[in-house]
Each structure stands twice: as structure tokens, then as C-alpha cells.
A and B are shown apart, each in its own frame.
Chain A
Amino acid sequence: MVKKIDYSIVLKGAAFPLLLIFVWEITARLGYLNALFLPAPSKIGYTFVQMVADGSWAVNLLASLKRLAYGFLITVCLAVPLGIVVGRARSFQHWISPTLSFLQQIPPIAWIPIFILALGIYEAPKIAVIIYAAFFPVFLNTVQGVSSVDPKLVEVGRAYMLSPLSMIRRVYIPSAGISIFVGLRLGLSNCWRALVMAEMITRTTGIGAQIWEGRDLMQPDRIFVAVFTIGVVGLIIDIILKRMEHRFMPWKKKHPGDKR
């Protein structure tokens, strides 16, 4: 079941960043770069090790990941069931889709001041931003997936006497599974980005707050550690979700024509 890692692809993907870091390091050492905003990669690496050692890196990362987990879980619990209901009732879509299209245009960050006014500066506004950021991709992809379920398969469900609940569980959800999963992936990466923004504005804890802290302290190396952490964590989350997709949907992995 587990896909083997193709090392040549990993190598190709890593070649460009490694080259970039190498050139960056050389130019920094030769004194071409202003260390005030572009410290050498080795300096950033050193700071990273230090931050790991004194625990500040993990504290901020965990604070962010905890929010991400809560916010995302709440979103999934809201958006998926709602998406299933709306996806099945076509007429309902006419009622709400203009509103949704309107809301979708507003970036989550635009709501942050309102959320802060309404919810304070601690956890609530950040989680609210995450929910807002992830809701639309998850919801819209669920609606899309459910409303494009093959009516012929639904008819099989009818002919074989499925109860309405079984119909959702055994026909609609698996049919829409691929689409829902795409929504979850999009939603989670939206979440992660929106969270960093929210943390930068509310400036309490978390990776985003760490970036501002680095600016306030004039320590660009700390900023870079945070920025790279954001990128790498985002990447890891995406890889994990892709793997889960293969795991839960084995029929999708093999394409027609492939032999077992």
C-alpha cells in the first residue's frame, strides 16, 4: 500500500533550493548582502539550533499547530455536513450561492480587526480566522462532490433499498470523497496561511508572532527561521494529506489500464 519514495525525484526537487542556499551563503560571506535583513544561511541555521535548544521554537510551533488543529477540526465538522445537505438540495444552492460567492471574495485577514473587537486578542479571533479561511474550500468542494454524484449509482442505492442515512454514508460520501479531500487539502493550507497572518496581527504567541518579534528585536535570522518553518510545515501537512488520500482511496491510485 505504501508508495515507495522515488529518490531521483526528491533529489531533483531539492537541487534548486540547495543551489540557492549555496549561492546565498557565498555572497553573504563575501559581504555582498546586508546582514540587517539577509543574514547568511549558516547564521539562520545556528539561530534555529539555538531556538530549538532553548525551546522557543517548539513553543511557538506547537501554539500554532494547536490552533490549526482546533480551527480545522471545527471547520470540518461544520463545512462537510453542511456541504452534504446543500449538495443534495439543488434549489437550496440558488438561495445561498451568491452570498457565498460574495463572502469568498473577502480575504480572511480583512476580518481580523472585527474578530479582535468582537472576540478579544487571545485564541478566539485566531480560530475564527482559521475557520473562515478553511470553510469555503471545504464546503464548496463538498457541495461540488455531492452534487456531481452519478445519479445512476444513487439509483442502485434506491433499487437496493438503502435507508436515507445509508445512502449518504455508502453512496454520497464515498462518491464525493475525492472532491471532499481536495477541499480538505485546500482548506488546511488556507488555514495555515491565515493563521500566520492572524498571529502576526494579534501578536501573542505562535510562528506569526515570532516573525514580528524578530522584527522588533532586529533579528532577521529569527524571522527567517519562522518563515522557513511556515513553509516546511505547510509542505509536510500537504504530503501527509496526499498520503492519506492514497491510503483511503486505493481505487484512485491505480489508473485504468494499469495491471495489478
Chain B
Amino acid sequence: MSTIANNSQKNSNQEMLIQVNNISKIFTSNWGKVQALQNLSFSCNRGEFVTIVGPSGCGKTTLLRIIAGLERQTTGEVLFNGSKVLGPGHDRAVVFQEPRLFPWLTVEQNIAFGIRDSRNKQKVKYLTDKSLDLVGLKDFRQAYPHELSGGMAQRVAIGRALAFEPAALLLDEPFSSLDVSTRARLQGELLELWHKTAKTIILVTHNITEALVLSQKTIIMSPAPGSVKEVLAIDLPYPREQNSPAFQEKKEYIHKNISYKH
């Protein structure tokens, strides 16, 4: 576990991978225009674990979708590794709130879904096996999604993202529909996975504890329109001790910051 701590040290002075510059997003609906995001900026280093927290409706999912290239911002730009994000790319893989597995594919086929060079059987097998191993589903490779529990299904979704070989993983409240103990286990697994693969991770959550357990840096957002309230470095050593005074203090601090009044 101390290696994870080293990891966080090591990454602190590294190059910038993702740069969000002055993003605004206006949705136009039948009822008029809604400003979802306003002049939002932050950055994320290579190998860094960043969380985005905020109350529901503050536009954190929209922000992640813009970084993923699934949604277009109204103004501003996202730079990934120095180049503008214009759409989905091979350098980013998304894990959605729901597992979104393909019901007609087995676990192993679902994981192999995004592999680029799908004709290269050896490569597909190598990447699939590696991902299955990382998410601990080797014994379930032949199972179909409907045979899996919620936690296992979300693991498959994470495996699918890993097999895509992205530089960054973008997770949109991936554990929010899981029960408390499954969530805690998956959080631990995600940290381990981050340690093993050294991927850059951006995770959206409304759960402050989750943000504190997982990330090195958390972007605290305020709602209506969504903007960055504060970028908070979490310099606590891994694994994070939830009962420690330092942890509690940070939690208290974020709670105050994230209040719905503005």
C-alpha cells in the first residue's frame, strides 16, 4: 500500500494531461435556455486521480461528458495531451453510471468490445485476459450480463474501459447504484487498479467520502450554473483512514463548501 502513497508523490510534479479551459455549456430546450456550466477551468496531471464532487444538478456529469467528447461545450475548450478534444477518442474511456453492458455478449466479449485492433486475435486475447484479471472476473468470462450482480456488472464495465487502452479513465458516478459494502469493495479495487496501471482517472461523484477515499485532488463544484468552487488537494496517505481527524476535517470542510446556499 505504501507504493500507492509513493505513486501520489511521484505524480505531483508531472506533466499536465487534461486541461479544461473556461468551459461553458448552455442547453436549449422547449422551455428556454439553461446554463449548465459557466467558465469552468481545471487541469489534471498524467497519472493523477481526480474527483469532481458537487450536489446533484450541478453539471458534473455534463462536464465529464464534455471531456469524454460525448457532448460539445458551448464555449471554451478541453485539451487532452495538448490537443483539442473534438469528440470521443482512443485516449479516453468512459465508465457510465449504469454498467451499459451488451446483453448479447458474454463478460469476455463485453470486455473486448472496444479493443481497437479486433482482428488481431492474440492482442484481443492478451488485453481481455489482462482486464479480466485486473477486475477479478476470470471465472465469469463466459457469463452473460443478466447473470451478474450489480457490482460484477460494473466491474465488467471498468474492464471494458481498461481493455480499450486509454490514457485516462473517465468514471461517471460508477458506484452510486451499489450497496454500501459493494461500493466500499469496488473503491478499494479501483485504487489498486489505479496503482497497478498508473492510469489517469477522473471520477464524478456526489459522495464526499468517496472523493476523499479515492482522489489526490477534488474539484468542488457549485450549482446553477455549475462552476468550480474550489480545487482541493487531498494530501492524505493511502489507504485513507476514514476515522482519522485529518479525514474528518476535510470532510467537514467540503460539506461546508458544497452547501446548497449561494
Residues of chain A touching chain B, judged by Cβ–Cβ distance below 8 Å, are 152-153, 155-156, 158-161, 170-171, 174-175, 177, 249-251, 254-256, 259-260
User: Does B151 touch A at the CB level, under 8 Å?
Assistant: no
Residue in contact with B114 in the complex, picked from A161, A251, A255, A259, CB distance below 8 Å: A161
B93 near A251 with CB under 8 A, answer no
CB-contacts of B25-72 with A (<8 A): 68, 70
Chief secondary structure at chain B's binding surface: loop
B104 near A249 with CB under 8 A, answer yes
B residues less than 8 Å from A153 (CB atoms): 100, 102
**New A-B contacts (6) at CB < 8 Å, excluding given A155-B100, A160-B160, A174-B102:** A153-B100, A155-B96, A156-B96, A156-B100, A174-B104, A249-B104
Residues of chain B touching chain A, judged by Cβ–Cβ distance below 8 Å, are 68, 70, 88-90, 93-94, 96, 98, 100, 102-104, 113-114, 116, 143-147, 160, 164
A residues less than 8 Å from B93 (CB atoms): 159-160
- Report the minimal beta-carbon distance from B249 to chain A, rounded to whole angstroms: 37
Q: What is the CA–CA distance of A156 and B105 in the complex, to the nearest angstrom?
A: 14
Given known A160-B164, A251-B104, contact A152–B146 (CB-CB < 8 A)? no
Q: Could you give 23 example pairs across A and B, Cβ below 8 Å?
A: A152-B98, A153-B102, A155-B70, A155-B100, A156-B102, A156-B113, A158-B88, A159-B68, A159-B70, A159-B88, A160-B88, A160-B114, A171-B102, A175-B104, A249-B104, A251-B104, A251-B145, A251-B146, A254-B144, A254-B147, A255-B146, A256-B146, A260-B143
Q: What is the CA–CA distance of A249 and B144 in the complex, to the nearest angstrom?
A: 11
- Report the minimal beta-carbon distance from B89 to chain A, rounded to whole angstroms: 7
- Report the minimal beta-carbon distance from A246 to chain B, rounded to whole angstroms: 13
Chief secondary structure at chain A's binding surface: helix
- Report the minimal beta-carbon distance from B216 to chain A, rounded to whole angstroms: 25
- Report the minimal beta-carbon distance from B30 to chain A, rounded to whole angstroms: 18
Chain A's closest residue to B106 (CB) is: A251
A250 near B90 with CB under 8 A, answer no
- Report the minimal beta-carbon distance from A63 to chain B, rounded to whole angstroms: 38
Q: What is the CA–CA distance of A175 and B89 in the complex, to the nearest angstrom?
A: 24
Residue in contact with A161 in the complex, picked from B88, B102, B103, CB distance below 8 Å: B88
Chain A's closest residue to B110 (CB) is: A156
Chain B's closest residue to A171 (CB) is: B102
A residues less than 8 Å from B113 (CB atoms): 156, 160, 170
Find the residue from A156, A158, A171, A249 having the highest chain B CB count within 10 A.
A156
Q: What is the CA–CA distance of A177 and B104 in the complex, to the nearest angstrom?
A: 10
A residues less than 8 Å from B88 (CB atoms): 158-161
- Report the minimal beta-carbon distance from A249 to chain B, rounded to whole angstroms: 7
Find the residue from A152, A159, A160, A175 having the highest chain B CB count within 10 A.
A159
- Report the minimal beta-carbon distance from A146 to chain B, rounded to whole angstroms: 15
